[in-house]
Chains A and B, each alone.
Chain A
Amino acid sequence: MNTIIQLVISGLLIGSIYALMSIGLTLIFGVLRVVNFAHGEFLMIAMYAAWAFSKLLGLNPYVAAIAVVPAMFLFGALVYRLVIGSALEKPHLVVVFATMGLSIFLQNIALMAMTADLRDVPPIFGRSISIGHVFIKGELLLGFIITLACTIALQWVIKYTFLGKAIRATVQDGEAAKLMGIAVPRIFLITFATGSALVGLAACVMLPLFSVFPTVGLNFVLIAFVIVVLGGMGSIEGALLGGFCVGVVQSVGSYYVAPAFGQLFFFVLFLLVMIFRPNGLFGQKGAATLGMNE
């Protein structure tokens, strides 16, 4: 029984971190209606940045977030300016191929600059915290708290600020929003950059837990897509719920079923969700067939 409780709790905690990494994707999808295939590579770049900060300046990766998050915001804005913005005005396949190209581009730039070696930082918290019979890694607990804080803050911005109102108006009806004097391209730019900044935050939380290497994005982007589909495309609370589900399934699954096949887990889970629940847990219609008759 204790094992089960332990597994579920670590699953929930790791799931919250997966959710943090998926929120950027779901936000960008919800507002711009495009899928950013380079999302995993954004995470990879941000993880390298956090790693460089902690290596060169001896900073704790959590402190590095102060620099990494704004840097990723600017990076996102740059990518939007150079690629996404102009691709938005073209058929959907253009966005698909352009972001796919971007993903390969960033992967191989990283491969050239950093080689294929695994990089990581030493653990931040020496020992696990124990509550009763349950042991909790400090990094996971902190990640959980950061995710919750971030979700609440994001929801608050979307519900109560002028910017949030403008974003919601753009989602509901882009044309009408334009007529009301909302600069829709600017909203898109801000959303895309915010999504990238969130990935930057996720990277700082994930670095103490996972090693970084040029193709690390591929594993995580599939998980992010599973979470986004399960929770409903574009829904932030949904991403949190989806993250919890995936985390628990992974932690229980890898304990009872062959942990040696951990590498397969992400891919098989993705395929299973795509086969059996392509419309998400809450049956959001058309989620999986979205976005492309060209």
Chain B
Amino acid sequence: MSSLMSGKTGPKIGAMPEFQLRLYLAGQTPKSVAALANLQRICETHLAGQYTIDIIDLTKTHHLAASDEILAIPTLVRRLPEPIKKIIGDLSNEHRVLVGLDVRPVERESP
């Protein structure tokens, strides 16, 4: 039920994306919508071309809540690179998302 987002917008076509992310949501709640938007923005900013995002709607795939140990919604899981990391919340705090993903922020392109 997961829908693969096209994250491979970066130049390294054909290479395995470095970051495999999975976002667990529960229906179209404001928090879910916000989280997805935030995630896309952060990834595009800092991980351009190095990521894939799976989106899992737990209201449709109930069993995954247990198998993937999901409690909080939204939860972002960094499946790769190891170790697995979990970030909960609507991802509105960009700094903490980057800390959680262990991603060094990309300096803003100079205008």
> Does chain A bind chain B?
no
> Which residues does B use to contact A, with CB under 8 Å?
none
Binding site for B on A (CB under 8 A): none
